């Protein structure tokens, strides 16, 4: 069992040195970009690169840690991308649960890693036989940042809305004009129902045609 890292634990405090080292290892193994590891562990870029090479035999991926727009996590560009918004909703729920495991405020990097690992553990099974794309840790971090790390007073670009029917909390754009951002799970269920009805009536038509012959 990994001990939760408190928010006010300093990286240069010898009592937390091992916890920070575990955090760095975990982030590297999860594929976090170098900038992310540096931000949460206060390690130098050179140290992060060395850790990457030691643990994974490769240098860390470079580039920015954030996609340019919060729309990436909340808006359905295509009809099939409801599953993507649901993935974001699942991850945020894990983060929320994890941040409440103790009344003491926890380190955001630790929370990110712990909730991301739980999210992966839960969603691994379904991935084997489905094409559902899961968040990677860099996307999970960006999602949290756009969500103000679920701080209600953060003035975040992404908020969560609870569906009154299925009760999931899903990300929506705080500043959004146009049609309401409907629940991705309910939209998916409605699509499945429609497809099932279409398939049933097509089968019935085929059956009645063959019965007439
Ligand atoms: Zn719903």
**Binned average pLDDT, 10 residues per bin, the chain of 213 residues:** 86 94 96 95 96 94 78 71 91 96 95 96 68 87 95 90 96 86 92 90 86 73
CA of 185 to the centre of ligand 1 (A): 5
- Per-residue model confidence (pLDDT) at position 16: 95
Last residue of a domain, one of 17, 37, 65: 65
* Enclosing domain of residue 48: 1-65
Kindly state whether residues 1 and 43 are assigned to the same domain: yes
Kindly state whether residues 181 and 108 are assigned to the same domain: yes
Kindly state whether residues 79 and 23 are assigned to the same domain: no
Residue 182 sits at φ, ψ, to 5 deg, of -75, 165
Distance CA 48, CA 42 (A): 10
CA of 182 to the centre of ligand 1 (A): 8
Last residue of a domain, one of 49, 65, 81: 65
Kindly state whether residues 30 and 73 are assigned to the same domain: no
- In the chain, the number of structural domains is 2
Kindly state whether residues 104 and 164 are assigned to the same domain: yes
CA of 100 to the centre of ligand 1 (A): 24
Kindly state whether residues 59 and 74 are assigned to the same domain: no
CA of 188 to the centre of ligand 1 (A): 9
- Per-residue model confidence (pLDDT) at position 133: 81
Residue 173 sits at φ, ψ, to 5 deg, of -75, 130
160 - beta bridge partners? 171
Distance CA 186, CA 2 (A): 37
CA of 17 to the centre of ligand 1 (A): 44
- Per-residue model confidence (pLDDT) at position 135: 92
Residue 90 neighbours by CB under 8 Å, 6+ apart? 119, 122, 123
With H, G, I as helix, E, B as strand and everything else as coil, classify residue 79: helix
| Cβ contact 74:158 at 8 Å | yes
CA of 200 to the centre of ligand 1 (A): 25
CA of 177 to the centre of ligand 1 (A): 20
Distance CA 167, CA 93 (A): 12
Kindly state whether residues 98 and 198 are assigned to the same domain: yes
Kindly state whether residues 189 and 112 are assigned to the same domain: yes
Kindly state whether residues 57 and 161 are assigned to the same domain: no
Kindly state whether residues 110 and 196 are assigned to the same domain: yes
Last residue of a domain, one of 65, 90, 110: 65
CA of 124 to the centre of ligand 1 (A): 23
Q: Quote the Cα angle for 67-72-78, to 5°.
A: 140
Distance CA 166, CA 8 (A): 37
CA of 115 to the centre of ligand 1 (A): 23
Kindly state whether residues 91 and 56 are assigned to the same domain: no
DSSP alpha helix (H) spans, 57-183: 71-74, 82-98, 108-128, 137-146
CA of 169 to the centre of ligand 1 (A): 9
- Per-residue model confidence (pLDDT) at position 78: 58
Kindly state whether residues 104 and 146 are assigned to the same domain: yes
């Amino acid at each position: 069992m990994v001990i939760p890292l408190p928010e006010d634990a300093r990286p240069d405090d010898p009592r937390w040195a091992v916890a920070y080292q575990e955090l760095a290892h975990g982030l590297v193994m999860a594929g976090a970009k170098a900038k992310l590891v540096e931000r949460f562990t206060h390690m130098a870029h050179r140290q992060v690169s060395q850790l990457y090479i030691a643990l994974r035999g490769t240098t860390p991926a470079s580039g920015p840690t954030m996609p340019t727009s919060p729309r990436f996590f909340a808006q359905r560009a295509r009809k099939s991308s409801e599953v993507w918004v649901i993935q974001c909703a699942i991850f945020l729920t894990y983060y929320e649960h994890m941040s409440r495991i103790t009344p003491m405020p926890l380190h955001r990097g630790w929370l990110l890693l712990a909730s991301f690992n739980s999210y992966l553990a839960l969603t691994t099974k379904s991935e084997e036989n489905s094409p559902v794309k899961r968040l990677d840790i860099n996307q999970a971090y960006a999602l949290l940042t756009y969500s103000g790390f679920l701080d209600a007073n953060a003035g975040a670009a992404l908020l969560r809305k609870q569906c009154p029917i299925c009760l999931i909390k899903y990300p929506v754009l705080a500043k959004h004009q146009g049609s309401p951002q409907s629940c991705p799970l309910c939209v998916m269920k409605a699509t499945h129902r429609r497809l099932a009805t279409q398939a049933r009536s097509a089968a019935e038509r085929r059956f009645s045609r063959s019965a007439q012959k």
